[in-house]
Amino acid sequence: MQESAFKPVLQKGSPMKPDARPVATPSEPAFPKLTARKTVTLAPGTVVAVRVGETMTSEQNQSGDSWAGVLAEPVVVDGLVIAERGAEVTGRVTNVKRSGRVKGVGTISITLSRLATADGQRVAISTTSFAGYGRDDTKRDVGKVAIVSGIGAAIGAIAGGGRGAAIGAGAGAGAGTGVVLATRGSPAIISNESLIRFKISTPVTITEVLK
């Protein structure tokens, strides 16, 4: 039998070797890392305790002003910590009334509007409002008028007694009323670091990433 005319030509000292190139292997399928999540609802009536981070007054603030604070207590729902103690919160001034003259005290109302959750979300919330009121100075103002009226009556008595005393009392009363009219009532103040407990007024659903 005749041998084939085609034979591999080998160089001296170079024996034939099998192909050493790496053989491609199919890559393993990449699966996305699963993240545990839980969805909860902040129901109406849920308490959110806050430490106010600034001082607000009925004389300096206006409706629509924003304010900031931190949680004084964690917010927990179904055993899950939705927001940790010390988490940032923000709110709004919703109503302001300056104190009037003679009568009427200052008022200022605030609500909570946003909450930072444990996984870094900033969730919009709606809460009941908290109102601060100025001190009622009605009795003190009446006392001012009485004191000045008494001084006027004494001066009138010294000047002539009788009718003079009546004139002096009238003049004193007018002066006393003027003192009261020139002075505004006490402003409402919500001090820095005040502890306020708001309540959720509209349900809020939150899907939080579990750590």
Higher pLDDT, 79 or 200: 200
pLDDT in tens, 109-148: 999 999 999 999 999 999 999 999 998 765 555 454 444 4
- Report the pLDDT value the prediction gives residue 152, as an integer from 0 to 100: 47
- Report the pLDDT value the prediction gives residue 105, as an integer from 0 to 100: 87
- Report the pLDDT value the prediction gives residue 14, as an integer from 0 to 100: 52
Residue 8 has pLDDT above 60, yes or no: no
Q: What whole-number distance in Å separates Cα of residue 7 and Cα of residue 99? A: 112
Q: What is the number of residues in the chain?
A: 211
Q: How far is C-alpha 195 from the geometric centre of its chain's CA atoms?
A: 11
Q: Tokens in use for 164? A: 């003079």
Q: What whole-number distance in Å separates Cα of residue 19 and Cα of residue 98? A: 92
Q: Which amino acid, one-letter code, is at 57?
A: T
Q: 149 with 179: CB under 8 angstroms?
A: no
Q: Please enumerate in sequence order all residues whose Cβ is within 8 A of that of 62, keeping only pairs 6 or more positions apart, or say none.
A: 93, 96
Q: What whole-number distance in Å separates Cα of residue 53 and Cα of residue 50? A: 9
What is the pLDDT of the chain when averaged over all its residues?
77
Work out the percent of the chain whose per-residue pLDDT is above 90: 51
Say how many C-beta atoms besides its own lie within 10 A of residue 82's C-beta.
24
Q: What whole-number distance in Å separates Cα of residue 130 and Cα of residue 107? A: 10
- Report the pLDDT value the prediction gives residue 55, as an integer from 0 to 100: 97
Q: 53 with 68: CB under 8 angstroms?
A: yes
Q: Please enumerate in sequence order all residues whose Cβ is within 8 A of that of 104, keeping only pairs 6 or more positions apart, or say none.
A: 97, 185
- Report the pLDDT value the prediction gives residue 137, as an integer from 0 to 100: 60
Higher pLDDT, 108 or 18: 108
Low-confidence winner among 7-11, 59-63, 100-104, 151-155 (lowest mean pLDDT): 151-155
pTM over 0.85? The answer is: no
- Report the pLDDT value the prediction gives residue 31, as an integer from 0 to 100: 55
State residue 18 phi and psi, 5-degree precision. -70, 155
pLDDT in tens, 22-78: 655 556 556 556 578 899 999 999 999 999 999 999 999 999 999 999 999 999 998
What confidence category does residue 162 fall into, taking pLDDT thresholds of 50, 70 and 90? low
Which letter does DSSP use for residue 135 in this model?
-
Q: Please enumerate in sequence order all residues whose Cβ is within 8 A of that of 202, keeping only pairs 6 or more positions apart, or say none.
A: 44, 125, 126
